Amino acid sequence: MAVEVVMPKLGMSMKEGTVSVWNKKVGEAVEKGESIASINSEKIEMEIESPANGTVLDIKVSEGEGVPPGTVICQIGNENEQTPESQTKQPDSPKERIKISPAARKIAQSANIDIKMLKGTGPGGRITKADVLQALPGRPNKQAAKAEAEERPPASPMRKTIAARMTESLQNSAQLTITMKADITKLTALQKQLNETAQSRYDTKLTITDFAARAAVFSLLDHPAMNSVYQDGRLATFEHVHLGVAAALDEGLAVPVIRHAERLPLIELAKKIKWYAKKAREGRLLHDEIEGSTFTITNLGAYGVEHFTPILNPPETGILGVGQMYSAPVYQDGELTKGAILPLSLTFDHRALDGAPAAAFLSDVKNYLEDPASILL
């Protein structure tokens, strides 16, 4: 007598199971414990084993069809044994069985892809998830993707250099970024006053970058550990400040170096920053003008960025990021008034110094900016 194989209940919440793949056809012999089909319900998938030796007499549920638990999906019996259904009608001609994984079938159904048009690359020609994904509309095939990649122009020499240095920086240092905000209300007022003289006497203007650079130089002299380099297990501090000032270019980034920045008054430092930025944009920087910096400052305020995470310019220990100034209410002389706030971001190499001295350095930068008279002397 034929043995019925039913859809098992794979969980208390299971309401329907789907036959993913039939591993046997009608008329094929099976042994007890041999896998005859794969079924799945939600995230659960399992193999259905034959409950007895015999022959597959009838398959009642097609691949991809979902039925409730307890539904008879096939019958196993003796060869030539007829089931009640087969006694009253001739069996349908067997359909060509398409082997496809459950995940692949689900994706194909949701994308309305005819699995008969797919060529399986899995074992025995089984259609895999990758085969279906490759056939999704708008997805280029491997040959097209390869051709497209070959058509992409190579990166410029500058971009390759930047990529190599930034990768080296992140791989060879322990970088950490901390942030603070400086109240530069007094500084902006002083800037406006000084620029009248700077423009008429020196044909230049003082920018927030100039003041931040000056504050950084003073703070580096107060905190020599930030003006250092950690290499090969040794920590070397520098007596002089060779300040790198990042300059954005159309094709990348350049960091010209202002040597002995600690010797320059504010107006000379500002003129140097603008002069080197101009040379960088014109592509006239000499090799020794972009090497040997001990600390770098970068400003993304013009792009609307406030706090960010600057990447160290190796082998330096620190880099100061200046963000976009914004207005906020502040107390001045005991009264609430409209003030100007400048976001500051400091990335430092934790191998060279710890968080506390790094925070002390950034705090000093903040204090210098909030007391602008101190950086004029």
Ranges of H-type helices in the chain: 84-88, 102-110, 129-134, 142-151, 157-171, 185-202, 208-222, 266-281, 355-370
Report in angstroms the alpha-carbon separations of 36 from 25, 46, 290: 9, 11, 71
302-325 in b/e form (b: 16+ CB < 10 A) is eeeebbbebbbbbbbbbbbbbbbb
Render 84-95 in DSSP notation, one character per residue.
HHHHHSPPPPPP
- Count of other CB atoms within 10 angstroms of residue 67: 18
Among left, alpha and beta (phi > 0; psi -120 to 50; other), residue 255 is beta
3-state secondary structure at position 219: helix
Rounded Cα–Cα distance for residues 61 and 205 (Å): 82
- Angle at which helix 185-202 crosses helix 266-281, to 10 degrees, equals 70
Rounded Cα–Cα distance for residues 335 and 46 (Å): 73
Catalytic positions, written as ranges = 350, 354
